[in-house]
Amino acid sequence: MSAGAALAVEVPVQASAPRWRVVRALARQEARRHLRSPMLPLGLAGFVYLAWVTRTSDDWSGIEYGGMPGAGVTLFLGVSLLVASSFRRERAGLVEDAPTGETTRATGRLLGAGVLVLVVAAATAVQVMVMRAGGGVDLGDEPGRTLHAHHTLPEVLQPVCVALVAVALGALLGRRVQQRAATTIALFAFWYLTAGITWLFQAAPVRPWSIVMVHPVEVRVGPHSADPLTFPEEWLLSAPDAYEPFWGRLVVSPELATAHDMWLIGLACVLVAFALPRRTRGRLLVVGGMVAAVAVIAQYAVAP
Amino acid sequence: MIAVLTQAVRPTARTIAWRPVAGVAAGLVLLSVLLVEEDRAQMVMAWLGAAVTASLLVAAIRDRASRLLAAVPTPLSARRLLRLAIVAPVPVAVLVLVVGLRQPDGPLPLLGDVTALTLAGLGVASWMADERGVAWGAGLPLAWVAGAQFGNSSAGAVGDALLWWHTDSLVVGAIAAGCVLLGARR
């Protein structure tokens, strides 16, 4: 029997296999590829380094608390690049002859990328456990200061939600952008700005649209000349400095952090939708868009 | 040689991927508009602009037809130089106009940074096999600037080396140019 005839026999067998089995097989294959890539240990090394820098730095009070989500910047970039590489294979001409549809393949690729989200979740869990093992972290300036601050659950979940955005963005650019260099440069610029330079997006009007939200939020409570002893003693305070020449109250808002996590999930759905074939993206686009819109409004509503 | 390259300008320009160039230019303009009021962001813009522009320039030397053209008498280095000369004016002009002119020291240090990073990337690209070399070369400016941004608190030689492209751009550029020349003559 010739090779062509053998293929003609095999294709219907593959096509009639239950869809979930195909998706599972693809996901397993993709996950294995991701775990073997050198990009992942490189991203993890960057994460460990940045987490260590924020832990040992005494540049300002609260650097470790506020720097928790941003420490994952190299990990997020690595996740995006890996997923982009995975979805880029969808652009190879051979896929047109594949016995499974693009939606099935995309589902397999996305499920395979789930292993990367698990890696980010595990890394974040270790980071938070190290902080907790040390009795909490430094936050605030005298007289409103604590040495035992702990992140709330929505804050801890933020890096995981950001990882979902990283997967979605990688899928979108890998699938839709032709040039690999353009994808790499765009992903670098995106993560450099949004997760690397987090203070750029923490002003009140743009904060709900940010990717990495820094907690706690600072609320202005008095001028430079104010006496901090007149503020309620349970407040955490931020002393005036060169960039913010006023007394501020540091507010940790689990409600705001929850709404921001929802925004990230909605955004990830919208981005993934554009990586899928046109006929299958509708529901995800609508649901993701609605979740993102409600979450942004909620953030403005609950912001301290 | 010059006559051949002159004739090759138009067909080469048609094969260059202009969308990434337009994307980087549009991104820089958009960011500079959004951050026009934020003085603290000017250094961020300068470093990011230098990294993406240098990476873009190195990536631009990738020629999909390089294997086909390997048989022609025009050397690879000359064809790469031509591609670079065609692409470079647009992103560099945008970088200078929207970022460089807002820098406290003017656009010259920024141009030095871009030149050093680009030559370093080209140096890598000229010493490795075609496709892989361009990929690693284009990644170098991004990795170096990211290392400087996130790792500049490292003490000693490592911290200094991460900033060489900025603090010693002339030296880096000269060494990298030497690497490019030697690599082209291999």
- Residue B65: pLDDT band (50, 70, 90) is confident
Q: Which of B105, B106, B117 is nearest to B162 (CA)?
A: B117
DSSP letters, A240-274, are --SSS-EEEEEE--HHHHHHHHHHHHHHHHHHHHT
Would you state the pLDDT for residue B39?
Answer: 75
For B77-136, the pLDDT digits (tens) are 888 999 999 999 999 999 999 988 888 888 899 999 999 999 999 999 988 877 778 888
Q: For residue B44, list chain A residues with Cβ-Cβ distance below 8 A.
A: 193, 197, 200
Proportion of chain A above pLDDT 70, given as a percent: 94
What is the predicted pLDDT for the residue at A288? 96
CB contact under 8 Å between A193 and B44, yes or no, is yes
The pLDDT-based confidence of A168 (bands split at 50, 70, 90) is: very high
Q: How far is A181 from chain B (nearest CA, A)?
A: 6
pLDDT at A17: 54
B24–chain A Cβ distance below 8 A for any pair: yes
Structure-model confidence comparison of residues A202 and A121, the more confident one: A121
Cβ atoms of A284 and A171 closer than 8 Å: no
Check whether A239 has a pLDDT greater than 80. yes
Residue of chain B whose alpha carbon sits nearest to that of A194: B44
Greatest mean pLDDT among A1-10, A202-211, A251-260: A251-260
Instruction: Tell if the CB–CB gap between B142 and A185 is shorter than 8 Å.
Output: yes
pLDDT at B75: 83
Give CA–CA dist B3/A112, Å, rounded.
Answer: 53
Confidence class of residue A211 from pLDDT cuts 50, 70 and 90? Answer: very high
* pLDDT, chain A, mean: 89
A185: nearest CB among B44, B52, B149 = B52
Q: How far is B20 from chain A (nearest CA, A)?
A: 5
CB-based contact B153 A196, cutoff 8 Å: no
Q: Does A192 touch chain B (CB under 8 A)?
A: yes
Between residues A247 and B149, the one the model is more confident about: A247
Minimal C-alpha gap between B73 and chain A (Å):
28
Give the per-residue pLDDT at A278: 87
Burial of A199 (0-12, 13-18, 19+ CB in 10 A): middle
- The answer to whether A178 contacts chain B (CB < 8 Å) is yes
Q: Do the chains contact at A188 and B149, CB–CB below 8 Å? A: no
The secondary structure of residue A149, as a DSSP letter, is E
Are B48 and A189 spatial neighbours (Cβ–Cβ below 8 Å)? yes
- Say what angle helices A254-273 and A153-176 make with each other, to 10 degrees: 20
d(CA B148, CA A76): 18
Instruction: Please tell me the predicted confidence (pLDDT) of residue A54.
Output: 86
Chain B's closest residue to A53, CA to CA, is B153
Is the pLDDT assigned to residue A5 strictly greater than 50? no
Please check the confidence at residue A16 and state whether its pLDDT lies above 60: no
User: Which tops the pLDDT comparison, A295 or A279?
Assistant: A295
Q: Tell me, what's the pLDDT at A209?
A: 93
Residues of B in contact with A197 (CB under 8 A): 41, 44, 149
pLDDT in tens, B17-26: 888 899 889 9
pLDDT at A268: 97
Instruction: Report chain A residues whose CB lies below 8 A from the CB of B43.
Output: none
Say yes or no for a CB contact (<8 Å) between B146 and A188.
yes
- Cβ of A184 and B20 within 8 Å? no
CB contact under 8 A, B20 and A57: no
Q: In this model, does residue A9 exceed pLDDT 60?
A: no
Between B5 and B92, the higher pLDDT residue: B92
Are A57 and B17 within 8 A, CB to CB? Answer: no
> A52 pLDDT exceeds 80?
yes
Q: Look at residue B154 in the predicted model and tell me its pLDDT.
A: 63
Residue B153 touches partner A, C-beta closer than 8 Å: yes
In A, minimum Cα distance to B45 occurs at A193
How large is the ipTM? 0.74
Domain ranges of chain A: 17-216+252-302
The ranges assigned to domains in chain B are 2-184
Cβ distance of B40 and A189 shorter than 8 Å: no
pLDDT given at position A100? 83
In A250-267, which positions are buried (b, 16+ CB within 10 angstroms) versus exposed (e)?
Answer: bebbeebbbbbbbbbbbb
Contact assignment for B146 to A193 by CB distance below 8 Å: no
Q: Is the pLDDT of residue A65 over 80?
A: yes
Q: What is the pLDDT of residue A8?
A: 46
In this complex, the residue of A181, A192, A200 whose CB is nearest that of residue B41 is A200
Spatial separation of the C-alpha atoms in residues A54 and A52, rounded to whole Å: 6
Comparing A273 with A197, the larger pLDDT belongs to: A273
pLDDT above 70 as % of chain B = 96
Instruction: Please state whether the peptide bond connecting residue A216 to the residue before it is cis, i.e. omega within 30 degrees of 0.
Output: yes
User: What pLDDT, on the 0 to 100 scale, is given for residue B64?
Assistant: 79
pLDDT interval class at A25 (50, 70, 90): very high
Query: Are A76 and A163 a contacting pair, CB within 8 Å?
Result: yes
A37 touches chain B (CB under 8 A): no
Model confidence at A3: pLDDT above 60? no
Q: Do B55 and A185 touch (CB under 8 A)?
A: yes
**B49: nearest CA in chain A?**
A189
Of A179, A186, A196, the CB nearest to B149: A196
pLDDT band at B155 (very low <50, low <70, confident <90, very high): low
3-class DSSP state of A141:
strand
> With an 8 Å Cβ cutoff, are A200 and B35 in contact?
yes
Among chain B residues, CA nearest to A196: B150
Closest-CA residue of chain B to A56? B153
Task: Tell me what the pLDDT averaged over chain B comes to.
Answer: 87
Question: Tens digit of pLDDT for each residue in B168-186?
Answer: 999 999 999 999 999 877 6
Chosen for mutation from B18, B44, B58 (greatest number of chain A CBs closer than 10 Å) is B44
pLDDT at B62 over 60: yes
